[in-house]
């Protein structure tokens, strides 16, 4: 039986992690169908049909799907489920909100946030904030799986031409009403997908001091991250938070400035390829995961860092 991938999108285009989820789906079973539920989302549906790993697209449109409400999405997928062995989507806030609602309706025990497909019924997933890995075998006939997007490469995005099948909308769930969404707009790369992330912690001492980080991030074309301590102290808004309760990031380069390295923070960044720690406390736990540690006062080190970057002839972007 085929695998059903739930596409994440903004009605205009696919969200990038749909490509990572598609890769995971294709590792479970080569016959991947993808469903896109939205309103005026035909461009995104076309994009989905161009992913070479997707063999068929199912498109469902309706005004009550415009804002991705799980209570409206779940019945559509439950209705289709009998044709599929697995239902797959990303373990970001979209998928985390939606998939358990589907799984419970199908009487299936969901496998959350997998980082590896071992076989079609066996998966690797982190537990305890990534401090242990569990190998889980699902004995349910139908499997509901969410995938950690940063653990799978994005699939090819062009070259495919899967047929797009329309499906009728289900009834509206009237007890939940969307009011508004406040998206944080920025010219910077998105934290979840950036090649370089520069993060500040409590050691920054104020929101104003984050400009030292901003400057370096601009120079490197990097996203800006923060520890929970910095967010809780009000230095920076919470969409920058990296960690167990924030975002999990896997950049090529992660620079942690004034971050001690609490377990919850490490859970969000320790899979980064190269980690740099700048901290004046030489005993800070962040140094235990850092490839390059600099024991220094960040208020001296960051201006020097900027100076050194300015001396370089070229900087990779």
Partner 1 sequence: MKILVAVKRVIDYNVQIRVKEDGTGVVTDNVKMSTNPPDDNAIEEAVKIKEAGKATEVVAVTVGEEKAQETVRKALAVGADRGIHVKVDGILEPLAVSKILQKIVDKEKPDLVFMGKQAIDDDCNQTGQMLSALLNWPQATFASKIDVKDNKLEVTREIDEGLETIEINVPAIVTCDLRLNEPRYASLPNIMKAKKKPIEEIAASDLGVDVSPRLELLKVEEPPKRKAGIKVANVAELVQKLKNEAKVI
Q: CA 226, CA 13: separation in Å to the nearest integer?
A: 28
Given the structure tokens 């696919």, which residue do they identify?
A: 14
Task: Answer for the pair 6, 40: CB distance below 8 angstroms, yes or no.
Answer: no
In sequence order, the 6+-apart residues with CB closer than 8 A to the CB of 172 are 62, 64, 72
| Residue 13 in contact with partner 1, rule: CB under 8 A | no
- Which of 11, 39, 105, 193 forms a contact with partner 1 (CB under 8 A)? 105
Q: Which of residues 288-307 bind partner 1 (CB under 8 A)?
A: 288-296, 301, 304-305, 307
Q: Which residues of 61-93 are buried (b: 16+ CB within 10 A; e: fewer)?
A: bbebbebbbbebbbbbbbebbeebbbbbbbbbe
Question: Among residues 281, 248, 251, 302, which one has the least CA distance to residue 115?
Answer: 248
Closest distance between partner 1 and the C-beta of residue 211, in Å? Answer: 18
- CB atoms < 10 A from the CB of 292, how many? 12
Part in contact with partner 1 (CB under 8 A); list of ranges 22-30, 35-43, 46-54, 111-119: 111-119
- Which of 14, 35, 58, 111 forms a contact with partner 1 (CB under 8 A)? 111
The DSSP bridge partners found for residue 196 are 253
| Residue 80 in contact with partner 1, rule: CB under 8 A | no
| Residue 233 in contact with partner 1, rule: CB under 8 A | no
| Residue 12 in contact with partner 1, rule: CB under 8 A | no
| Residue 253 in contact with partner 1, rule: CB under 8 A | yes
Q: Which residue, 49 or 90, has its beta carbon nearer to partner 1?
A: 90
| Residue 122 in contact with partner 1, rule: CB under 8 A | yes
Q: Indicate the helix (H) or strand (E) that contains 100.
A: helix 93-105
- Which of 86, 113, 147, 269 forms a contact with partner 1 (CB under 8 A)? 113
Part in contact with partner 1 (CB under 8 A); list of ranges 47-55, 122-130, 154-162, 164-172: 122-130
Q: By CB under 8 A, how many residues form the interface with partner 1?
A: 91
| Residue 84 in contact with partner 1, rule: CB under 8 A | no
Closest distance between partner 1 and the C-beta of residue 159, in Å? Answer: 28
Q: Which residue, 15 or 55, has its beta carbon nearer to partner 1?
A: 15
| Residue 309 in contact with partner 1, rule: CB under 8 A | yes
| Residue 39 in contact with partner 1, rule: CB under 8 A | no
Question: Among residues 183, 257, 191, which one has the least CA distance to residue 227?
Answer: 257
| Residue 145 in contact with partner 1, rule: CB under 8 A | no
Q: How many CA atoms lie within 13 A of 238 on its CB side?
A: 5
Q: Which of residues 163-192 bind partner 1 (CB under 8 A)?
A: 173, 175-184, 192
Task: Answer for the pair 263, 238: CB distance below 8 angstroms, yes or no.
Answer: no
Q: Which residue, 36 or 129, has its beta carbon nearer to partner 1?
A: 129
Q: CA 191, CA 102: separation in Å to the nearest integer?
A: 28
| Residue 102 in contact with partner 1, rule: CB under 8 A | yes
Binding mask 211-230 for partner 1 (x = CB under 8 A): ---------x-------x--
Q: Is the dihedral of CA 17, 22, 23, 25 positive or negative?
A: positive
């Amino acid at each position: 039986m085929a695998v059903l991938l739930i596409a994440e999108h903004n009605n205009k285009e696919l969200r990038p992690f749909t490509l990572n989820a598609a890769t995971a789906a294709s590792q479970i079973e080569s016959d991947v169908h993808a469903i896109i539920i939205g309103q005026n989302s035909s461009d995104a549906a076309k994009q989905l049909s161009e992913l070479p790993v997707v063999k068929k697209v199912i498109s469902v449109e309706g005004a009550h799907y415009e804002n991705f409400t799980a209570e409206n999405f779940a019945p559509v997928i439950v209705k289709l489920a009998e044709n599929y062995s697995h239902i797959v989507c990303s373990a970001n806030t979209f998928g985390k909100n939606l998939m358990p609602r589907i799984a419970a309706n199908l009487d299936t025990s969901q496998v959350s946030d997998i980082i590896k497909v071992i076989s079609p019924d066996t998966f690797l997933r982190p537990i305890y904030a990534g401090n242990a890995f569990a190998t889980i075998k699902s004995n349910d006939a139908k499997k509901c799986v969410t995938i950690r997007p940063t653990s799978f490469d994005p699939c090819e995005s062009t070259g495919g031409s899967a047929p797009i099948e329309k499906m009728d909308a289900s009834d509206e769930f009237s007890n939940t009403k969307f009011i508004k969404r406040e998206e944080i707009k920025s010219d910077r790369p998105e934290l979840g997908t950036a090649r370089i992330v520069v993060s500040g912690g409590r050691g920054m001492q104020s929101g104003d001091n984050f400009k030292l980080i901003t400057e370096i991030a601009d120079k490197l074309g990097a996203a800006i991250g923060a520890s929970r301590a910095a967010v809780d102290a009000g230095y920076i808004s919470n969409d920058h938070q990296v960690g167990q309760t924030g975002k999990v990031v896997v950049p090529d380069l992660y620079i942690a400035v004034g971050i001690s390295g609490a377990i919850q923070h490490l859970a969000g960044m320790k899979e980064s390829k190269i980690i740099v720690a700048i901290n004046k406390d030489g005993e800070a736990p962040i140094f235990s995961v850092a490839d390059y540690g600099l024991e220094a006062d960040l208020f001296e080190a960051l201006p020097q860092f900027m100076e050194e970057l300015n001396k370089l002839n070229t900087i990779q972007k």
